[in-house]
């Protein structure tokens, strides 16, 4: 499966590792294809620079050594595919849809109100329960 992570999940996994998150990441790396969008990568860098500046170098280094498929989030998007409360979340899900991602893992509650067939939108805990 092709699995995309939202920014909040990447931050949790990389900056606040736990056994559960490490197991989830290991499972994704070894059994599936991790997909990261240009929007999520840029948001990750921006959040880390603003909130955790001492970790900025570590994030850059991890992104260089992690194995993932990098996909482009277009600047112009069809804004009629779905409705979501926070407009900053639209590019994340839009990219997952146009890139035919199977699962989007996010901790953001705004995604729970979106009703689409694919990708499956789940939290890290739900992913661990269902797939690992």
Domain with residue 108: its CATH number is 3.40.50.1010
Helical ranges in 52-78 per DSSP H: 56-65
CA-wise closest residue to 116 among 130, 87, 131, 96:
96
Helix (H) or strand (E) holding 36: strand 33-37
State how beta strands 69-71 and 103-105 pair. Answer: unpaired
- pTM of this structure: 0.94
Domains of the chain: total: 1
DSSP 26: H
Expressed as residue numbers, the domain containing 39 is: 2-131
pLDDT in tens, 64-101: 999 999 999 999 999 988 989 888 999 999 999 999 99
Of 12-26, 30-44, 110-124, which has the strongest mean pLDDT?
Answer: 30-44
Res. 54: pLDDT tops 90: yes
């Amino acid at each position: 499966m092709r699995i995309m992570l939202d920014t909040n999940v990447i931050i949790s996994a990389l900056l606040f590792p736990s056994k559960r998150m490490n197991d989830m990441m290991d499972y994704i790396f070894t059994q599936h294809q991790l997909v990261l969008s240009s929007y999520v990568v840029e948001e990750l860098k921006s959040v880390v620079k603003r909130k955790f500046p001492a970790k900025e170098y570590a994030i850059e280094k991890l992104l260089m050594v992690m194995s993932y498929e990098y996909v482009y989030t277009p600047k112009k998007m069809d804004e009629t595919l779905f409705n979501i409360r926070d407009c900053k979340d639209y590019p994340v899900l839009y990219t997952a849809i146009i890139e035919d991602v199977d699962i989007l893992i996010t901790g953001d509650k705004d995604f729970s109100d979106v009703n689409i067939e694919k990708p499956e939108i789940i939290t890290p805990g739900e992913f661990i329960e269902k797939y690992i």
